Chains A and B, each alone.
Chain A
Amino acid sequence: MTVNVLLFKITLLTYFAATIFYLIGVISRKDSVRLAAIWLLSGGFVLHCSTLAARWFASGITPVASLYESLSFFAWALVGIYLIFYLRYRTIMLGAFITPLALVLMIIGSAAPKQTPALNPMLDSWWFPVHVTLAFLGHAVFAIAAAAGIMYLLQERMLKSKKFSGLFYRLPSLDTLDSMNYKCLTFGFPLMTMGIISGAIWANSAWGGYWRWDPKETWALISWFLYAALLHGRLTVGWRGRRAAIFAIIGFAFLLFTFFGVNLFLSGEHSFRNFTGQ
């Protein structure tokens, strides 16, 4: 087992522990449980950084080429972006959604083959890591928006129905959750846009065409339009709250489908098979 795979496994275990603490934290009255969760997650993130670094040094390319690598990178971006949001909003509960998601990505990743792919000459472009990094950062920001959206819907339902569970006291205010939605949109949308543009430039240098309508591209474009509509609605028509929350959740479902579904059910240039010859 190489160093980076060992590190990956330790990271996965740490995320697992953090997830347990977050889930207990949802029902527990003790703040110490939630604090332990955030520390475990932070520790896991540091380990994850070293995992990626080790992989990078070992293979010499940005570790985003195989399914295993990209899942790990996605989870890393997710946790990193969440920790930044935590510093800004101090909402521990958000982690109860993000951490399990990161854990699931890591578990799927751990089932995938881990050897460094024999580099496809197609990937040997400066645009490739730029494209993938931007896309994943965008995905991670939108994941936060979706989690905030779920929290918004929960909190809103309690306020409307006037039936409060213990969760009510631990969830942030509607205003906070809605402003998170907006923040995510203003960061995530440019990231996603640049991700698509850089992807098109890379495609041009690899295949000699900017856009080929392969399934992944199509689905990414649909998601992009969805977020564009939400941003437009927020800025001009005064969409917010519930509607914005639902949009953020649907948008992220589309992104997940773009990432997983397209690889599993449809085939195209973005399939990892094509990259690695497996």
Chain B
Amino acid sequence: MHIVIVGLSHKTAPVEIREKLAFAPTAMERPLRQMLELPPVAEGLIVSTCNRVELCAATKEPEAAMAALRRFLAEYHEVPPEEISSNLYSYQGEEAIRHLFRVSSSLDSMVLGEPQILGQIKTAYGYAAEFKTAGLILNRFLHKAFSVAKRVRTETAIASNAVSVSFAAVELARKIFDRLDNKGVMIIGAGEMCELAARHFVTNGVSKVLVTNRTFERAEKLAAEFNGKAIPFEYFVEHLAEVDIVMTSTGAPNFILGQRQMEEVLKRRKNRPMFLIDIAVPRDIDPKVNNLDNAYLYDVDDLQGVVQANLKERQKEAGKAETIVEQEIGQFYQWLGNLEVKPTIIALRRKLEEIRQQELDKTFGNLKDLTDGQRRSIEAMAGAIINKVLHQPTAVLKHSQNDTSGEDYVDAVRTLFDLPAPAGDDKEIKPLDDTDQE
């Protein structure tokens, strides 16, 4: 049995094509069933996100299956096949395994290390399992892909550092304050950027939110969203000492917060540190504020710089992740190979021969006064028992080669007789971790 993948991603197709070939996430039953009706396809799975579509199948005839899947993808979406053929990639065997492992580990993602893709593949697998289009091979394959992705996330720092401006702000705040749950934040200027960053701060535990804006009504509206308090713009400086984090994004042409004012504020705070984030262009806060002890001022460029540095860190980690993927491919490929009938029969016979030999040695050790003739008869009897026992299983295995039940029998025999273990640890599919964000 082979694994094949036909698909397209943000790397091979522009969004106009991707959106044409996407599958609606709410109606996966029909395409999955149709896919399984293609003659060479034994098991099927469809992953469809805004950045990629992947058709994954287990098949006996990889070439035919790949051609059928390419045609299916075009016909299902009523697109001429030649129009999209240059955007499609097809993988089989080891390459297909590598591809899915890399995709689920987020090594193929637009933002390296983003965690959503794993959840999307889990959902896709959920449908395939629900409509029973995934069988032994894809079950094992997908579980393996999940465990590879998990290994990559825990053993490398690929997903560790923030790669968006608002998350970078939260991360920096953690390096200053350690805990955010007893901290307060003030939003100056109710812009969209500030709102997004404020939301991140609130989900990360910030409890006190003050909002100020030139039009008081907007401040009130935003404050209500965060259970915060609105403050008239004229008085915001007086309230600065109450908060630890300040975010500004007003359209003011000049600085609205200068060094002198901040000096006063810090004094009133007894020098407890303050983190100031100035997202406005032109800037709202005098850059000299950064020279004050215990004040940390970041403007948009600074935050972008942090994001760039973090991306670089992720790229360094990607190398490690690729190594992990390579290790796991070998293991899984071995398991897949073990599902072949012939090596299984050979392994089974060898195993029983080993048992026969051990038992004979034991018996002869106890019965020392046997004649050579008697020994030979006992050996022959043991051999005959093995042959009789093996006759039916061997016949069934050989017969099953011709239909789709083959792998199930092979897997069963390998488990029952404890033949060299197939790779991959079956684990329950877990829902997406709560820690996944961004």
Report if A242-B294 is in contact (Cβ < 8 Å); known contacts: A162-B305, A175-B273.
yes
Interface size class of B (residues with CB under 8 A): 20 to 34
Smallest beta-carbon distance B320→chain A, Å:
9
Judged by a CB distance under 8 angstroms, whether A126 is at the interface is no
Which of B161, B271, B296 has the most chain A CB atoms closer than 10 A to its own CB?
A: B271
Q: Which residue of A lies closest to B183 (CB)?
A: A175
Query: Of B178, B270, B298, which contacts A162 at CB under 8 A?
Result: B298
Instruction: Decide: A174 and B270 in contact? CB cutoff 8 A.
Output: no
A144 to B367, CA, bound (A): 75
Smallest beta-carbon distance B95→chain A, Å:
30
| 0 or 1 for each of A230-242: is its CB under 8 Å from B? (1 = yes) | 0000000011111
A88 to B271, CA, bound (A): 25
Smallest beta-carbon distance A218→chain B, Å:
32
Judged by a CB distance under 8 angstroms, whether B172 is at the interface is yes
Instruction: Decide: A240 and B172 in contact? CB cutoff 8 A.
Output: no
A155 to B272, CA, bound (A): 16
Instruction: Decide: B296 and A175 in contact? CB cutoff 8 A.
Output: no
Judged by a CB distance under 8 angstroms, whether B174 is at the interface is yes
Smallest beta-carbon distance A18→chain B, Å:
25
Report if A240-B294 is in contact (Cβ < 8 Å); known contacts: A159-B172, A162-B302.
yes
Instruction: Decide: A175 and B294 in contact? CB cutoff 8 A.
Output: no
A238 to B267, CA, bound (A): 8
Instruction: Decide: A239 and B273 in contact? CB cutoff 8 A.
Output: no
Stretch at the interface among A56-64, A70-78, A165-173, A206-214: A165-173
Q: Which residue of B lies closest to A162 (CB)?
A: B302
Instruction: Decide: A29 and B273 in contact? CB cutoff 8 A.
Output: no
Interface size class of A (residues with CB under 8 A): 10 to 19
Query: Of B161, B177, B306, which contacts A175 at CB under 8 A?
Result: B177
A127 to B305, CA, bound (A): 59
Smallest beta-carbon distance A56→chain B, Å:
41
Instruction: Decide: A241 and B175 in contact? CB cutoff 8 A.
Output: no
Instruction: Decide: A172 and B178 in contact? CB cutoff 8 A.
Output: yes
Judged by a CB distance under 8 angstroms, whether B79 is at the interface is no
A155 to B273, CA, bound (A): 14
Judged by a CB distance under 8 angstroms, whether A260 is at the interface is no
Instruction: Decide: B178 and A173 in contact? CB cutoff 8 A.
Output: yes
- B-side residues, CB < 8 A to A, are 157, 160-161, 172, 174-179, 270-273, 290, 293-294, 296, 298, 302, 305-306, 309
| 21 residue pairs A–B, Cβ–Cβ below 8 Å | A159-B176, A159-B296, A162-B298, A162-B305, A164-B306, A168-B175, A169-B160, A169-B161, A172-B178, A173-B177, A173-B178, A174-B177, A175-B176, A175-B177, A175-B273, A240-B270, A240-B271, A240-B272, A241-B273, A241-B294, A243-B293
- A-side residues, CB < 8 A to B, are 29, 155, 159-160, 162, 164, 168-169, 172-176, 238-243
Beyond contacts A159-B175, A169-B161, A241-B293: 16 other A-B pairs, Cβ-Cβ < 8 A, are A29-B157, A159-B296, A160-B290, A162-B302, A162-B305, A164-B306, A168-B175, A169-B160, A173-B176, A173-B177, A176-B178, A238-B271, A240-B271, A240-B272, A241-B273, A242-B294
